[in-house]
Each structure stands twice: as structure tokens, then as C-alpha cells.
């Protein structure tokens, strides 16, 4: 985890964001489980335990700044926001399979946009996000045993 934290701090500096003990703690929280999304309210609770005087706005602003520079990915489902540390700075554009049982996130290597672009001649696509949901092999094995 120390290597990832060093890389994350380097990304902060590269993007002209100050390295503070609060930002280090936030990154540490997200790095603890890189292959899962974290509920933003739980991240907020963790940070406020570490820094009791820290406001909700500061925590959410830092998460937003991290997202803007590609350090975290955010997922919103209904009224629930979740974030995950971006683990591959060389391939910022990617998609995920998310296990609905354990929440594990697996990065997909290919982007299917060519298929969609072919169906939309003349359209100007300005962005997209593709996530697949299901049950990972580990959870399938566990569920089959029960």
C-alpha cells in the first residue's frame, strides 16, 4: 500500500493539489480496499473520526477534486454515491464489472464504443460510462455451497 500511496501523492503534486495530512488520510482510506467502491458516507465518517473538526464540505470537495484529476472514480446509484481509488493512471478510460454480492470491482480491458458509434451515425458522443453487474466467480462458488 505504501507504493500506491507514494504514487497517489505524486499525482496530487503533479495536479497542483497540496499534500495535507487530511488528503493523505483520505487516500489511505480509499487505498485500503482498492478493488471495491466505498460508500461516500462511510468515507465521511472515517475522515471525521480521524479529524473531528473537518467539515463534510471539505471531505466532499476533496473527493470531487480527486475525481476531477482522475484519482478516484465515482458511482451514483439513486441517492447513494460511492467512490473508488483509480488504480491505473496509464489507462484512465476503462469500464468495470461490479459484483452485486461482494462489491468487488474488476476492470474491463476493452471499450465497446465502436458498436454504439456505428448505430449513431451523425451523432456527437461526448462521453460514456459502462458498468456491468453480476456475480463474481468467488461469490458464485460461495452461493452454490449454501
Q: Which residues of 67-85 are buried (b: 16+ CB within 10 A; e: fewer)?
A: eebebbbebeeeeebbbbb
- Take residue 125 and report the three cell numbers written for it: 458522443
Tens digits of per-residue pLDDT, 92-106? 677 888 888 888 888
For residue 3, the model assigns a pLDDT of 83
Q: Which are the contacts of 47, defined by CB distance < 8 A and separation ≥ 6?
A: 22, 25, 26, 29, 54, 59
Fold designation for 95-145: Dna Ligase; domain 1 (3.30.1490)
Closest CA to 66 of 10, 105, 15: 15
For residue 53, the model assigns a pLDDT of 93
Q: Give the residue numbers of the binding site for Fe cation.
A: 93, 128
Mean pLDDT within 12-25: 93
Q: Which are the contacts of 130, defined by CB distance < 8 A and separation ≥ 6?
A: 95, 108, 111, 112
Mean pLDDT within 2-26: 90
DSSP string, 10-46: HHHHHTT----HHHHHHHHHHHTTTTB-EEHHHHHHH
Cα–Cα distance measured from residue 109 to residue 96, given in angstroms and rounded to the nearest whole number = 9
With bands split at pLDDT 50, 70 and 90, how would you rate the model's confidence at 91?
low
CATH pick for 2-85 out of 1.10.8.60, 3.30.540.10, 1.10.10.10, 3.30.1490.20: 1.10.10.10
Q: Which residues pair with 108 in a beta bridge?
A: 95
Q: Where are the domains of the chain?
A: 2-85, 95-145
On average, the pLDDT of the chain sits at 86
Tens digits of per-residue pLDDT, 24-69? 999 999 988 888 888 999 999 999 999 999 999 999 999 999 988 8
Q: Give the residue numbers of the binding site for Zn(2+).
A: 99, 102, 136, 139
Q: Give the residue numbers of the binding site.
A: 93, 99, 102, 128, 136, 139
**Planar angle of CA 8, 32, 143, nearest 5 degrees:** 135
Amino acid at each position: 500500500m505504501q507504493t500506491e500511496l507514494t504514487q497517489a501523492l505524486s499525482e496530487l503534486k503533479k495536479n497542483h493539489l497540496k499534500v495535507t495530512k487530511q488528503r493523505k488520510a483520505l487516500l489511505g482510506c480509499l487505498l485500503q480496499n482498492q478493488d471495491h467502491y466505498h460508500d461516500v458516507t462511510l468515507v465521511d465518517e472515517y475522515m471525521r473520526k480521524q479529524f473531528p473538526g473537518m467539515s463534510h464540505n471539505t471531505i466532499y470537495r476533496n473527493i470531487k477534486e480527486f475525481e476531477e484529476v482522475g484519482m478516484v472514480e465515482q458511482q451514483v446509484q439513486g441517492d447513494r454515491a460511492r467512490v473508488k481509488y483509480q488504480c491505473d493512471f496509464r489507462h484512465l478510460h476503462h469500464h468495470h464489472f461490479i459484483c452485486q454480492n461482494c462489491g468487488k470491482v474488476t476492470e474491463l480491458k476493452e471499450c465497446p464504443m465502436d458498436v454504439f458509434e456505428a448505430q449513431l451515425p451523425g451523432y456527437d458522443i461526448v462521453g460514456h460510462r459502462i458498468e456491468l453487474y453480476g456475480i463474481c466467480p468467488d461469490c458464485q462458488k460461495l452461493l452454490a455451497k449454501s
